[in-house]
């Protein structure tokens, strides 16, 4: 028969009871308050072969044992009583076990008792003075939070079979065996895991511990694929897929898998938002001890699982089996989150403004709000009262402490510091963040990433070296020493004489550490009791050893997933933060390793460069990516063959901007595939040229000094930069008129001549032009304004009347033109050979400048008249009028006429009267007497409408009156022929 004393703080005491053998009596013990008498009263008086002692906490177990056996509070063994002579109750209790209960063995399941010099001293003392056999552990066996392999190394005692049944494998999480397992993410989106597997957390469908990586399955016959991030909890694992859904596997007692049940899962199950509804839009997942957090692409966070300390952040302490949204306070939800990190029982959130909030357990001040008060709603981390911690680029929540990486490369930490894990050179707990020091006089700088495990912290510097500080009981600090702890950073060594270099990521388990080198190899150091270092052994390591995929085969050729900014930005464009170096970088006190080998180079199949728009020019690149199921987070392209630009695109074809490319020029295109932080080799270059609408020209001048009225044109000078040989023509617009008018015939010189018909002199006009090629038109040039003088419209002569030496000319000006400053008149008496201007001596402008009276002209001459309007330039009338002046009747009467040509004159009755003729007035007609004198024989013939009273003839040098009958007012045509 065996007796087992169990700490009453073990949360699943009933589960412990179910795993106890029938030959074991189990007694609940209050290690804090039970005295000797209280304890004795609880124990059945029987005969026992051995007594086992199992307690819940890790760091406190040795002190609790002392309290149990001595009923006194001690801070350490040697300092209080090296001789142990005063421990009367301690000796009395063990004597009671030995003498009254007949037990000859005491099994102490406390952590590391056998490996501690202090406790070896105590055990040796007890064995010698009390003659009782004491078995103890070399690892964490017996701690609820951190456990080992359930072997008490000092006596090679297997506790399974002595106190517990075989189903302890199912329940050993209750008794403290921690999930010491490691997960690897490969380039094709598949996942491998190794180490402890008692809860099925490796996802291979078994609960068998694995010393080498095994592939995570989706179900019994297929493997899980398309994974982009993994995160580990105490005994469960979460996998984020590229489509934003999440799968989980392992322990589910508190609903931490998020499938709405508490059923353990050996194969991954999908996380649900509610019954039958998958949780989607997830960009980061982080696992705590027994809960899980999900960051969504809208900046909100959902959590699920245990909530004893309010770590879920929904304002309650109620356990959740479906994810619930994290609240900011009682009435609103937390938003604008860009990173979430889960510790054992705390959660931290970085907002897009670089501030940080925390929630949950705060017993050591790990929330960083200056208190040790548990928080069910997130509180802001502050450096001091009223001063927020800001510019945070990365946060890691660990067991009882939290670390913050700032944008400037410095690190702050807060919380439990009993092992120096805060890194300020002390072991004092901190409730406000303090800056990590490099040594007593300087601070640590140039840090690019942080991580940590149980009571220790790691940092990567920009030069690829790694420093660690805090607890070192398993050699997890990697300095080759067995020093228990350090409160200043120590540089990690590769071996006894050299330091580890070229590190791009560090990831920590409980008490072991992984290092990824830039060449893709992985090294690990520290505790290895479950094979969690992946070297195929369970041997503890003080210097880093290389991780193996199988015996003799190194796990190489990849990149650790240090962040998921690429995937994050692809799905979360509405939240921006330039300081997201490690957005989803795993930061737990449990291990996570992601390996992403360099992707295969894509193959370009075509480049579409037929035509591009000028406003938003793009080129379409079609390609193939083999293997087709590779999880590529983005692509990058190059046009010049040297510099590459990232594209948040993951499928063919890629659409890349083509701003600045020149039409007709050949370009060479290459692309690379990017997965996490690794990129493929460049694709083979593919050349293409295309026609793009030209760049808009720039008008330098508009020549509007003077234009002709007959064919008015405007000359536009411009520059075309860059020069473009594809331009075939230009179009123009005056005063913004649309559409632009294409020049005919085509012009492509640097000076365009455009028609200006209809433009008005003195008015300002704006001119724009566009360049044209086969792809279309450029944007319009910037408008340039100009005004100029245009000749007026030519005046039109409407009537002309001549009498003797006087002519009256009437004309019109249509359309009216306010720019006209005057008119000029000219005449020609030589049939248009020459024109002479009229002067004021012989011309007068009448009737609003549209009627002209001309005098002093010579009779018997034929005249041509022209009028032109002027406004600085001239426009002549197009209808020159020809008129032959007639002599007056008086001149015919009073003058001797030498007839050399036929003269045809029209005279009215008034003309005749004006001449002073007199005659008889018959009843029906006037009778006038005309007297002509001629110097040679002539015949005078009057027109047919004039009746002569007698035949008429003229003799040479004689004058003879002519009697003419003129009727009414009818005109008389007098025809005189030589």
SS (H, E, C) 107-161: EECCCCCCCCHHHHHHHHHHHHHHCCEEECCCCCCCCCCCCCCCEECCCCEECEC
In a domain, 585, yes or no: no
3-state DSSP: the chain helix, strand, coil percent, rounded to 5?
10, 40, 55
What is the Cα–Cα distance from 4 to 49, expressed in whole angstroms?
11
CATH number at residue 739: 2.60.40.10
Co-location of 776 and 818 in the same domain:
no
Strongest mean pLDDT among 587-591, 670-674, 878-882: 670-674
Question: Which of 261, 367, 262 lies closest to 310, judged by CA?
Answer: 367
Beta-bridge partners for 802: 807
pLDDT at 895 over 80: no
How many domains would you assign to the chain? 6
Spatial contact of 412 and 436, defined as CB atoms under 8 Å apart: yes
The three-class DSSP label of residue 239 is strand
More confident residue, 505 or 741: 741
At residue 575, the pLDDT reads 27
Co-location of 709 and 807 in the same domain:
no
Co-location of 641 and 681 in the same domain:
yes
Question: Which of 143, 582, 180, 256 lies closest to 403, judged by CA?
Answer: 582
Co-location of 377 and 396 in the same domain:
yes
What is the Cα–Cα distance from 187 to 586, expressed in whole angstroms?
18
Co-location of 547 and 440 in the same domain:
yes
Spatial contact of 224 and 203, defined as CB atoms under 8 Å apart: yes
Q: How far is CA 764 from the centre of its chain?
A: 46
Can you state the angle between helices 61-70 and 88-95, rounded to 10 degrees?
80
The three-class DSSP label of residue 925 is coil
DSSP 403-429: EEEETTS-EEEEE--TTSTT-SSS---
Q: What is the pLDDT of residues 938-973, one digit of tens each?
A: 344 333 333 343 333 333 333 344 444 443 344 444
For residue 875, name the pLDDT band (cuts at 50, 70, 90). low
From the number of C-beta atoms within 10 Å of its C-beta (0-12, 13-18, 19+), residue 275 rates as exposed
Choice among 185-194, 313-322, 646-655, 757-766 with the minimum mean pLDDT: 185-194
Q: How far is CA 112 from CA 59, 84, 385, 419, in A?
A: 10, 20, 40, 16
Question: Which of 583, 588, 591, 586 lies closest to 567, judged by CA?
Answer: 583
Helices (H) and strands (E) in the chain, counts: 10, 73
What are the b/e assignments for 298-308, b being 16+ CB within 10 Å?
A: ebbbbbbbbbb
Is the Cα torsion angle 191, 196, 197, 199 positive or negative in sign? negative
Q: How far is CA 373 from the centre of its chain?
A: 39
Co-location of 874 and 895 in the same domain:
no
At residue 857, the pLDDT reads 67
Choice among 51-55, 180-184, 408-412 with the minimum mean pLDDT: 180-184
Strand 272-274 relative to strand 277-278, pairing: antiparallel
What is the Cα–Cα distance from 61 to 140, expressed in whole angstroms?
10
Helix (H) or strand (E) holding 873: none
At residue 832, the pLDDT reads 75
What is the Cα–Cα distance from 765 to 712, expressed in whole angstroms?
14
DSSP 313-376: -SSS---EEEEEEPBSSSS-B---EEEEEE-SSEEEEEETTS-EEEEE--TTSTT-SSS---EE
What is the Cα–Cα distance from 360 to 291, expressed in whole angstroms?
12
The last residue of a domain, from among 759, 785, 811: 785
CA torsion, ordered 241, 242, 244, 250, to nearest 10 deg: 10
The last residue of a domain, from among 884, 909, 932: 884
What is the Cα–Cα distance from 143 to 7, expressed in whole angstroms?
10
For residue 884, name the pLDDT band (cuts at 50, 70, 90). low
Q: What is the pLDDT of residues 786-809, one digit of tens each?
A: 887 777 777 887 777 766 566 777
Q: What is the pLDDT of residues 571-600, one digit of tens each?
A: 222 223 322 233 232 222 222 333 334 567
pLDDT at 268 over 70: yes
Co-location of 768 and 801 in the same domain:
no
Co-location of 547 and 425 in the same domain:
yes
Co-location of 618 and 722 in the same domain:
no
At residue 700, the pLDDT reads 93
In a domain, 567, yes or no: no
In a domain, 581, yes or no: no
Co-location of 168 and 187 in the same domain:
no
Instruction: Give residue 146's domain range.
Output: 2-175
For residue 135, name the pLDDT band (cuts at 50, 70, 90). confident
Alpha-carbon Rg for the chain, nearest whole angstrom, is 55
Provide CB contacts within 8 A for 371, sequence distance 6+: 362, 365, 431
**SS3 sequence of 709-749:** CCCCEEEEEEECCCCCCCCCEEEEEECCCCCCEECCCCCCC
The three-class DSSP label of residue 429 is coil
In a domain, 588, yes or no: no
At residue 112, the pLDDT reads 63
In a domain, 64, yes or no: yes
Instruction: Name the average pLDDT for the chain.
Output: 74
Co-location of 851 and 868 in the same domain:
yes
What is the Cα–Cα distance from 485 to 482, expressed in whole angstroms?
9
CATH number at residue 399: 2.130.10.30
Q: What is the pLDDT of residues 355-396, one digit of tens each?
A: 999 999 999 999 999 999 999 999 999 999 999 999 998 899
In a domain, 766, yes or no: yes
Helix (H) or strand (E) holding 618: strand 618-624
In a domain, 52, yes or no: yes
Please tell me the pTM assigned to this model: 0.48
Quote the tokens at residue 416.
């439990």
Co-location of 188 and 124 in the same domain:
no
Q: What's the mean pLDDT in 801-819? A: 71
What is the Cα–Cα distance from 213 to 195, expressed in whole angstroms?
8
The last residue of a domain, from among 884, 901, 931: 884
Quote the tokens at residue 711.
């064919």
């Amino acid at each position: 028969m065996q007796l087992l004393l169990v700490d009453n703080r073990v949360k699943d005491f009933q589960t412990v009871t179910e795993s106890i053998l029938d030959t074991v009596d189990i007694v609940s013990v209050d290690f804090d308050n039970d005295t000797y008498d209280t304890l004795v009263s609880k124990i059945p008086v029987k005969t026992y072969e051995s007594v086992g002692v199992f307690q819940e906490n890790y760091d406190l177990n040795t002190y609790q044992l002392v309290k149990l056996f001595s009923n006194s509070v001690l801070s350490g063994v040697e300092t209080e009583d090296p001789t142990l002579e005063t421990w009367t109750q301690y000796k009395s209790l063990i004597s009671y076990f030995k003498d009254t209960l007949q037990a000859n063995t005491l099994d102490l399941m406390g952590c590391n008792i056998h490996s501690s010099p202090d406790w070896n001293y105590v055990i040796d003392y007890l064995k010698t003075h009390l003659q009782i056999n004491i078995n103890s552990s070399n690892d964490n066996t017996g701690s609820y939070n951190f456990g080992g392999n359930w072997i008490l190394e000092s006596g090679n005692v297997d506790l399974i079979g002595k106190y517990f049944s075989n189903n302890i494998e199912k329940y050993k999480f209750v008794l403290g065996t921690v999930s010491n397992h490691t997960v690897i993410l490969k380039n094709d989106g598949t996942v491998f895991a190794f180490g402890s597997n008692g809860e099925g957390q490796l996802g291979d469908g078994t609960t068998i511990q694995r010393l080498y990586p095994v592939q995570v399955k989706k179900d019994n016959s297929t493997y899980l694929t398309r994974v982009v991030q993994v995160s580990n909890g105490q005994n469960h694992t979460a996998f984020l897929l590229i489509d934003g859904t999440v799968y989980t596997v392992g322990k589910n007692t508190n609903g931490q898998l998020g499938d709405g049940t508490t059923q353990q899962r050996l194969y991954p199950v999908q996380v649900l938002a509610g019954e039958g509804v998958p949780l989607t839009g997830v960009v980061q997942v982080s696992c705590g001890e027994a809960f899980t957090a999900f960051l969504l692409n809208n900046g909100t966070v959902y959590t699920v699982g245990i909530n004893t300390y309010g770590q879920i952040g929904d304002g309650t302490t109620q356990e959740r089996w479906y994810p619930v949204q994290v609240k900011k306070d009682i009435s609103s939800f937390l938003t604008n989150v860009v990173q979430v990190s889960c510790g054992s029982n705390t959660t931290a959130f970085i907002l897009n403004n670089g501030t940080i909030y925390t929630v949950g357990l705060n017993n050591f001040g790990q929330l960083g709000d200056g208190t040790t008060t548990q928080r069910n709603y997130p509180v802001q981390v502050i450096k001091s009262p009223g001063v927020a911690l800001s510019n945070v680029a990365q946060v890691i929540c660990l067991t009882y402490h939290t670390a913050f990486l700032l944008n400037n490369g410095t690190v702050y930490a807060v919380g439990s510091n009993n092992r120096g894990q805060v890194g300020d050179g002390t072991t004092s707990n901190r409730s406000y963040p303090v800056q990590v020091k490099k040594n007593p006089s300087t601070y640590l700088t140039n840090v690019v990433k942080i991580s940590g495990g149980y009571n220790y912290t790691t940092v990567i510097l920009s030069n690829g070296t790694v420093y660690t500080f805090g607890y070192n009981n398993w050699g997890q600090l990697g300095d080759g020493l067995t020093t228990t702890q350090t409160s200043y950073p120590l540089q990690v060594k590769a071996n006894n004489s050299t330091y580890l270099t070229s590190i791009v990521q560090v990831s920590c388990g409980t008490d072991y550490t992984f290092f990824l080198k830039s060449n893709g190899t992985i090294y690990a150091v520290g505790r290895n009791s479950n094979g969690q270092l992946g070297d195929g052994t369970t041997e503890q390591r003080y210097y880093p050893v290389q991780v193996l995929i199988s015996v003799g085969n190194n796990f190489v050729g990849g990149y650790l997933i240090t962040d998921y900014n690429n995937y994050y930005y692809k799905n979360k464009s509405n939240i921006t933060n330039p300081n997201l170096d490690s957005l989803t970088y795993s930061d737990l006190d449990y291990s996570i390793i992601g390996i992403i080998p360099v992707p295969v180079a894509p193959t370009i199949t075509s480049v579409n460069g037929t035509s591009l728009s000028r406003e938003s020019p793009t080129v379409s690149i079609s390609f193939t990516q083999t293997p087709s199921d590779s999880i590529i987070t983005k692509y990058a392209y190059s046009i010049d063959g040297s510099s590459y630009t990232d594209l948040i695109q993951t499928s063919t074809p890629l659409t890349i901007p083509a701003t600045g490319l020149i039409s007709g020029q050949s370009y060479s295109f290459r692309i690379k595939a990017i997965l996490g932080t690794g990129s493929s080799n460049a694709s083979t270059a593919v050349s293409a040229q295309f026609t793009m609408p030209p760049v808009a020209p720039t008008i330098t001048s508009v020549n509007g000094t003077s234009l002709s009225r007959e064919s008015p044109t405007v000359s536009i000078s411009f520059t075309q930069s860059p020069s473009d040989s594809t331009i075939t023509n230009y179009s123009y617009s005056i005063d913004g008129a649309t559409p632009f008018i294409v020049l005919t015939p085509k012009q492509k010189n640097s000076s365009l001549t455009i028609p200006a018909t209809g433009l008005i002199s003195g008015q300002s006009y704006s001119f724009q032009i566009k360049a044209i090629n086969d792809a279309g038109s450029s944007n319009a040039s910037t408008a340039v304004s100009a005004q100029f003088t245009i000749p007026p419209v030519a005046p039109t002569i409407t009537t002309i009347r001549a009498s003797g030496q006087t002519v009256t000319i009437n004309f019109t000006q249509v359309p009216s033109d306010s720019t006209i400053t005057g008119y000029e008149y000219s005449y020609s008496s030589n049939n248009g050979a020459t024109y002479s201007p009229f002067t004021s001596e012989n011309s007068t402008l009448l009737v609003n400048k549209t009627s002209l009276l001309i005098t002093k002209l010579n009779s018997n001459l034929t005249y041509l008249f022209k009028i032109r309007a002027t406004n600085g330039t001239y426009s002549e009338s197009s209808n020159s009028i020809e008129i032959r002046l007639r002599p007056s009747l008086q001149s015919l009467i009073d003058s001797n006429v030498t007839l050399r040509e036929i003269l045809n004159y029209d005279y009215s009755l008034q003309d005749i009267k004006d001449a002073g003729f007199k005659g008889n007035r018959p009843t029906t007609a006037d009778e006038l007497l005309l007297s002509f004198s001629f110097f040679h024989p002539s015949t005078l013939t009057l027109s047919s409408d004039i009746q002569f009273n007698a035949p008429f003839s003229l003799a040479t040098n004689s004058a003879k009156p002519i009697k003419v009958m003129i009727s009414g007012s009818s005109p008389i045509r007098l025809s005189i022929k030589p």
